[in-house]
């Protein structure tokens, strides 16, 4: 008789509204959005009222804004839940959002509704394991601290990064994710890095990029 408890089933969400973008949202990252398409205006207001997230997914093909005669949107399978932190409507038909990234997910089934909004059934992915930054990658942390100090001196550092804690700066996933947001990486590369299950490997790959670009001493 097997006395081991069964593994917990992955959590799933059904009919999660999606916001396809030409960018990638990382866990614990922030995202500012200008929302003006009808298919998204209603979605974000409903999400705010319900206190519910929506899903941000990167476009594999297509444009963020629907255009007549444009090809179909193709979406990457792995995205990130986005929670609305601030919502401001400066004029009719325009909403300004600030969102924060939380948990990653994998799309298991998707559907585009008649008015153009994508919804999906998704499987939530495990959060990145807490892995301390090893000694051979500490240079990536020092370089990030220098960059953040420079941005802060110019008043350009996001508030969440300016207040980075010692624990965050010693976490492979947090350091790698912040670099992925700050570096001018191609969309496909940024997506592949976000989708990696191993945060240490993600930071190692970021370290390679930093060395090739001369950012690391």
Contact 82, 48 (CB under 8 A): no
- Bridge pairing between strands 78-91 and 94-112: antiparallel
From 74, 96, 124, give the residue that closes a domain: 124
Q: Model's pTM, two decimal places? A: 0.88
Pick from 177, 182, 191: nearest CA to 215: 182
From 80, 102, 124, give the residue that closes a domain: 124
Question: Is there a domain that residue 156 lies in?
Answer: yes
Range of the domain at 110: 12-124
204 and 179 assigned to the same domain? yes
146 and 106 assigned to the same domain? no
78 and 149 assigned to the same domain? no
70 and 142 assigned to the same domain? no
Question: Is there a domain that residue 51 lies in?
Answer: yes
120 and 147 assigned to the same domain? no
120 and 154 assigned to the same domain? no
Could you read off the pLDDT of 63-75 as tens digits, one per residue? 877 665 566 789 9
Distance CA 79, CA 107 (A): 8
From 93, 124, 155, give the residue that closes a domain: 124
Q: Which 8-state DSSP code applies to residue 137?
A: G
Count of domains forming the chain:
2
Contact 179, 144 (CB under 8 A): yes
| Strand, coil or helix: 64 | coil
96 and 26 assigned to the same domain? yes
116 and 23 assigned to the same domain? yes
pLDDT in tens, the chain (217 residues): 455 555 455 577 889 999 999 999 999 999 999 999 989 999 999 999 999 999 999 999 988 776 655 667 899 999 999 999 999 999 999 999 999 999 999 999 999 999 889 999 999 999 999 999 999 999 999 999 999 888 888 877 666 676 778 899 999 999 999 999 999 999 999 999 999 999 999 999 999 999 999 888 6
Question: Which residues have a Cβ under 8 Å from the Cβ of 120 and sit 6 or more positions away?
Answer: 15, 16, 18, 55, 107, 108, 109, 110, 111
159 and 86 assigned to the same domain? no
| CATH label of the domain that carries residue 84 | 2.30.130.40
189 and 91 assigned to the same domain? no
| CATH label of the domain that carries residue 141 | 1.10.4060.10
16 and 119 assigned to the same domain? yes
Pick from 54, 48, 116, 120: nearest CA to 81: 54
């Amino acid at each position: 008789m097997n006395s081991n408890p069964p593994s917990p089933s992955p959590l799933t969400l059904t009919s999660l509204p999606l916001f396809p973008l030409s960018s990638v949202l990382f866990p614990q990252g922030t995202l500012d959005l200008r929302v003006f398409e009808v298919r998204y205006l209603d979605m974000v207001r409903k999400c705010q009222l319900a206190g519910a997230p929506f899903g941000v997914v990167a476009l594999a093909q297509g444009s963020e804004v629907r255009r007549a005669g444009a090809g179909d949107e193709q979406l990457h399978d792995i995205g990130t839940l986005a929670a609305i932190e601030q919502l401001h409507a400066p004029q009719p038909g325009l909403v300004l959002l600030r969102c924060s990234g939380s948990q990653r997910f994998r799309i298991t089934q998707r559907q585009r509704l008649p008015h153009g909004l994508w919804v999906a059934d998704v499987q939530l992915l495990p959060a990145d394991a807490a892995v301390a930054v090893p000694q051979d990658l500490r240079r990536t942390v020092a370089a990030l601290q220098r960059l953040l100090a420079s941005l802060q001196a110019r008043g350009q550092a996001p508030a969440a990064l300016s207040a980075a804690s010692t624990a965050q700066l010693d976490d492979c996933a947090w350091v790698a994710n912040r670099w992925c947001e700050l570096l001018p990486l191609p969309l496909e590369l940024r997506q592949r890095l976000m989708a990696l299950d191993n945060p240490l490997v993600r930071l190692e790959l970021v370290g390679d990029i930093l060395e090739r670009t001369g950012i690391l001493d």
